[in-house]
Structure formats: structure tokens, C-alpha cells
Amino acid sequence: MAFVGDIPADYDGSEYPDAEPSTRFAAVPDGFERLWTPHRISYIQDGQMPDADECPFCLAPGMSDEDALIVARGEHAYVLLNLFPYNSGHLLVCPYRHISTYDLASAEEVAEIGELTQIAMRVLSATAHAHGFNIGMNQGRIAGAGIAEHLHQHIVPRWALDANFFPIIARTKPLPRLLGEVRAEIAAAWPSRVE
């Protein structure tokens, strides 16, 4: 029996009278599931980037650490959890200033981004027992930056067994822990700054 979509091509309509074979749809199925995320419309409209007064990385420092998912604050930069993590504990290091690329960062910002990155790696090694890390910056929309107007560095903890079939088969990334729980654990383990 040949199938078109989820309905047999020779289906007579008797069992599911409201069902329609996908061959009658306006588009050809592409194998992707759809996850409706209307809250991300600000990234799609107006060139995909929010206005400076709506930039989530500019707004976050004005919120409570819990609400903004901030784990640590420095003088020139801060660390927060990625709202759409690749893995549990996926952190972002952001300068407070609204700058778009690394070459615009001051020497102080560069130094603190580096220091916060090192601390984040130590904390994630201790709390999450990470086996390795992916660290990087996507600068510019063409390079894959989700928010290209505000510089941010990704720190993604990795484990030997963190890859599985789910993202490939279901196009879904399973995350074993809630963001608030992960934020609290990392923030509690973050060392106090000594000046």
C-alpha cells in the first residue's frame, strides 16, 4: 500500500472522512516538524534584529538575576544562560555595552569576557561535570548570529554521550534540566570576585 503523508494513497475516505491526503495540500511536505514560537517575531521583523531599546542583552542587566537567567555580573560584562540552549548549561558572555563585533570591544571588555569564560568553564566542569566545551562567537547575521547587534560569546558544555538520535529523527533537542534550576546551581557555584 503506497502512502502519501500519513494517509494511504488509495484511501477511500471511509475511516477518516475529514482527513485529506497531503497530495492535495498547497505545499510539498519537507520532513520538518513545526514548533510555533510567536515570541521570536522580534528576531524576524525589521531585519531580524530587535531595536537597541528592545535588545535582550541590553535589557537583561536591568532585571533580577533570576528573571534574566544571569549567573554572574562583572564590571564590563556579564554571564547568563541561553534561553534557547544547545545543551543544559549553555552560557552567554555579553558586554554591557551594545556593540556588534569583537573588534569594537575595549581592552577591558575583552579581558573580562576572557576571564568570565574561564570561570564559566571551571564552574561547569565542577557542577555539570562537562567533558569539553564549544566556545565561540557568531558575528553578523550572515555568520549565524541570532542577535547580531549585541556581541555575545557562547560557552556550550559537552559530554561524551550528549549527542543522540532525537535532534536528527525528531528535530528536537531534549534538555534534561529546567533553566531556573541550572541558573541557580551555576550562580551558587560561581566564585566571589576578589578585587
Pairing of strands 3-4, 153-158: unpaired
What percentage of the chain's residues is helix, strand, coil (to nearest 5)? 35, 15, 50
DSSP 45: S
What is the number of residues in the chain? 195
Phi, psi angles (nearest 5°) of residue 93: -110, 120
* CA atoms of 50 and 43, how far apart (whole Å): 6
| Strand-by-strand arrangement of the 132-136 sheet | 70-73, 77-81, 91-95, 153-158, 132-136
* CA atoms of 79 and 92, how far apart (whole Å): 6
- H or E element in which residue 79 lies: strand 77-81
C-beta of residue 134 within 8 angstroms of C-beta of residue 98: no
Is 152 an active-site residue? yes
Single out the catalytic residue among 76, 90, 150, 152: 152
Mind telling me the catalytic residues? 152
